[in-house]
Chain A
Amino acid sequence: MPSHTFNVNGKTVTVDAPDDLPLLWALRDLLGVRGPKYGCGIDVCKACTSHLDGEAVRPCVVPVAEAAGREVTTIEGLADGDRLHPVQEAWLEQDVAQCGYCQPGQIMAAVALLKRTKNPTDADIDEIANVCRCGTYFRIREAIKSAAARMA
């Protein structure tokens, strides 16, 4: 069984798994990192959105071998200890979450967007294609704008 060493939320980890095992299952089933959620397995719902070297990716379609030697950040790694990331703070302020299942992915997508664009327009926000089945989109939009203001 091949062995893969990479960094998850600041810690170096090694997992034994087939090269093509999706990173999502390496995280959830082998490493116990369960913030990223399964919603479709084919990069459509984007509930598992996490960062690979700072870029938003969907671990359900990233083979674990591709993570070797790189930095994976999941929702659990976003806060600095007890101090939440400004995007998480904005999510609390707007009371965005309902069932919350998609929100780790929504937050990681928003963080990536704000990294690319300090002041996202409505059109930029529209490009986040993560599904929220509870339909919280308007609060997500308001929270992203609030986070942009906090981070300015």
Chain B
Amino acid sequence: MISRRPDDGDGRVNGALMTGHARRTFLTYLVAAPALAVVTRIGLDAVDPDTAQAAIPTPPAPADLVDLGDLLILAGKPTAGMLVLSVDEDGIVHFRLPREEVGQGLTTAVAMLVAEELDTPLDRVRVQLEDARPELLFNQLTGSSNSIRSLYDPVRHTAAAARARMVGAAAKQWGLSADDLTVRQGVVTAPDGRTAPYGTLSTAAASLDLGSLIVTPKKESEHTLVGAPTSRIDARALVTGGQVYTLDLDVPGAKPCMVRRPPSINGTVKSVNNEAVVRAMPGVLDVVVIDAGVAVVAETFGQALDGKNALDVTWGGGTVDALSDDDIRAKLKAATPSLDLLGLLVKKVDAEFDFAFVSHAPMETNSAVADVRADGAEIWSGMKSPIAAQAAIAQAIGLPVSKVKVHVVQSGGSFGRRLFYDAALEAAVVSKKSGRPVRLMWSRIDDTRHGRMRPATHHRVRATYAAGQVLTFVHQVAAVETDFRHGLGDAITAAAAGLPTGLGNATFAQTLFLTTVKSPYNFGVTTQALTEVPLEMHTGSWRSVYSANTRGAEEIVVDELAAKLGQDPVAFRRSFLKTDRQRAVLDKVAEEGGWGRTLPSGWAQGVGFHDEYTSCTACLVEIDATDPRKPRVTKAVIAADVGRPVNPRGLEAQLLGGLTDAISTTLRAGLHIDKGLPLEASYSQFHYARQKDSPKDVRIFVLPTDHEPGGAGELGVPAAVGAIANAYARATGTKPRSFPVNFDVDFTPFPR
């Protein structure tokens, strides 16, 4: 097990000051390099002492001992303290966040941590997304539900150091001991009543010599803001149209640009047959061939779109032109290892599952602004791995990394999509070729057909049981390769993942699978394994990566096992879960959701459970499947233990989003691949849930617990997938095996 808080107790960090940059502010760079204690215990002695005595204990899986989040924190540790916080002379606190805000509420949670530690009002804290800083190495990746886990301590230490400097400056000014001063609402107060607001101290604090600064963040028991339900800091901008997304930026001279893309994935441009005609169209400024297709630059996006549609291009073939859904499904099935042969006398549950490709489909399509000149470039885009983006862009436009400024912009959703920076790369290349700044936007159709997808998967599960116990649990997963070529967000691992053999990416995939997927149950000898089928398609991590399908399928098998053993699904889970924390969230939804209550015919309840990144959650839903072709989840009750909650209101929002993702992908939303291209091309065809598909009654409980913060951004999806599938199964008397369950091509596909 890895302890992430070896500095518990004295919380020492070394503070070093950088004052040369600004007169109006003071800057604090903190380099925190605490020693790391690593203790590994593998084997049965590591079984949680809470474990139910009756069940056959399952030794910990790798993800129980070291999960992906632990590894990312470890990788980021040497640079974790390189955070920048400044205080203006008007007392406004600025924090530069080396992560991306995509709607997950991270800027609000971080602002809360800063305000708490500085004892200053939340509305005086501004969080700015940090430009790509290559020296941060692994510490500028937004993913794996890791932001709060990795930033919780470093942010608190940074803000605590800033507070200490403020108090130190006041103490010096008044000739008093810092110990005698108090801080409230950003104002330092002396015992005799003298006061000094932070703004009046920031200049003095910047030049203050405190020697080796020793700071200790507040005890968590003293938190008043952290842990309190808090609205987003950007809520007003978001409801007034004031929020600035990439294409809302005013970059002087940047012209709209759209790209005509090939009729199949990874198709190539052979020739443009009517370039002169398109160039002569109203508003069209330039036509440029790039790797992905043919770019049209125009005065407005409407004209760029007209130009793109008018292009006559001769295309070369794509990389998966011969493949349609049936072929891919057959490949996956063939790649799934057979299950062990067991004695005929053993009772078992066998199940096979298929999950379709799913689009990330963030509301804001892939977009970027680029201004590339001979001597330097500036790029703006929503990016979760900006360091890797910067390296790739620099290479593509032939400039040194130091000449490529990469600005990270808050985005309209991600769900994993913005780990890839293809729009930024395309915009940079077009800007260079066209000799002008451009604002590049993907059409929705292209975003759906040529964007990233969650890979399709096939699952083979076998659970054996005897005498009321589960003896073995085997889950073989075959998946179309997930592209991890963004690496850990840095330039080095991105290059390693991109090695031509594919081995780099395969290693990433196995590591990610092994460090995220685990079973929360004592099901005896448990095996979960991944086999990848490499296909040259645009895939990528989709909220919860392997867990939505893998754990979703397992939760269905859990219900079927309970039925075989003649047990109630909640009681069955209770007796096989490993820890009391897990049972607490399950009990909460069973109690609040009225588990077992009578419902009309065609309606049913379902329950699901999931544990990842040191958090756990249970979900209970009710479904109306009177018409099995048009089921509706009518009610949902969710409970989660994510350790100490920073912002319960934001956490509830994340769980609500996970629920809606699960409703969509379990019941109706997926992509059909037909001869190398998705048939779906917009939200009229890719059936992500609307208001009419969403429950009218949702209750979410974030349990107040005292464990260190766990991951929460992806947590909600797998449990809800299981709950919805189980409710649908019970309501319809079927055994759902292929997802989404209603997946007809109920539309006329757009032309390619």
Contact = CB atoms under 8 A, between A and B. Distances in A.
Per DSSP, are chain B's interface residues mostly helix, strand or loop, or mixed?
A: loop
A51 B661 CA distance: 30
A79 B237 CA distance: 12
A39 B239 contact: no
A34 B256 CA distance: 14
A91 B239 contact: yes
B659 A37 contact: no
Contacts of A101: 103, 245, 362-364, 411-413
Contact of B103 (A74, A76, A99, A130): A99
Nearest to A100: B238
A97 B444 contact: no
A133 B363 contact: yes
Contacts of B684: 42, 44
A98 B682 contact: no
Contact of A103 (B104, B238, B657, B663): B238
A100 B103 contact: yes
Contacts of A137: 660, 689-691, 694
B300 A17 contact: yes
Given A99-B413, A135-B660, A39 B363 contact: yes
A149 interface: no
A49 to B, nearest CB: 12
Interface stretch (B27-35, B54-62, B227-235, B483-491): B227-235
Interface string A98-137: 1111111001000000000000001001111111111111
B690 A41 contact: no
A37 B241 CA distance: 9
B441 interface: yes
A40 interface: yes
B696 interface: yes
A60 to B, nearest CB: 9
Contacts of B153: none
A86 B664 CA distance: 31
A29 B240 contact: no
B239 A99 contact: no
B443 interface: yes
A40 B695 contact: no
A32 B241 CA distance: 12
A84 B605 CA distance: 41
A47 interface: yes
Contacts of A13: none
A150 to B, nearest CB: 14
Given A34-B248, A102-B363, A139 B653 contact: yes
Contacts of A135: 656-661, 663-664, 689, 694
B688 interface: yes
Contacts of A41: 305, 443-444
Contacts of B411: 99, 101
A25 B691 contact: no
Interface residues of B, number: 63
Contacts of A100: 103, 234, 237-239, 243, 412
Contacts of B282: 1, 18
B649 interface: yes
B465 interface: no
Contacts of B361: 133
A78 B656 CA distance: 28
A38 B442 CA distance: 10
Contacts of B659: 135
B301 A25 contact: yes
A92 interface: yes
Interface in B467-524: none
Contact of A98 (B105, B239, B242): B105
Contacts of B649: 95
Contacts of B663: 135
A140 B238 CA distance: 14
A37 B683 contact: no
Contacts of A104: 239, 241
A27 to B, nearest CB: 10
Contacts of B664: 135
A138 B363 contact: no
A114 to B, nearest CB: 15
B299 interface: yes
Contacts of B248: 34
A125 B690 CA distance: 11
A16 to B, nearest CB: 10
Nearest to A90: B239
B235 A39 contact: no
A29 B694 contact: no
A52 to B, nearest CB: 17
Given A47-B363, A135-B656, A76 B240 contact: yes
Interface string B31-56: 00000000000000000000000000
30 contacts: A26-B300, A35-B242, A38-B441, A39-B365, A39-B444, A40-B444, A40-B682, A40-B683, A74-B241, A75-B239, A76-B241, A76-B242, A78-B240, A84-B240, A98-B653, A98-B657, A100-B103, A100-B234, A100-B238, A100-B412, A101-B412, A129-B691, A132-B660, A133-B415, A134-B363, A135-B661, A136-B653, A136-B656, A138-B656, A141-B694
Given A17-B300, A39-B363, A138-B694, 18 more contacts: A28-B247, A29-B301, A30-B300, A45-B682, A45-B683, A47-B363, A74-B241, A84-B239, A91-B239, A98-B104, A101-B413, A130-B690, A133-B415, A134-B657, A137-B689, A137-B690, A137-B694, A141-B691
Interface of A: 1, 17-18, 21-22, 24-26, 28-30, 32, 34-42, 44-45, 47, 74-76, 78-79, 84, 88, 91-92, 95-104, 107, 122, 125-141
The 4 closest A-B pairs by CB, nearest first: A135-B660, A35-B241, A101-B412, A99-B103
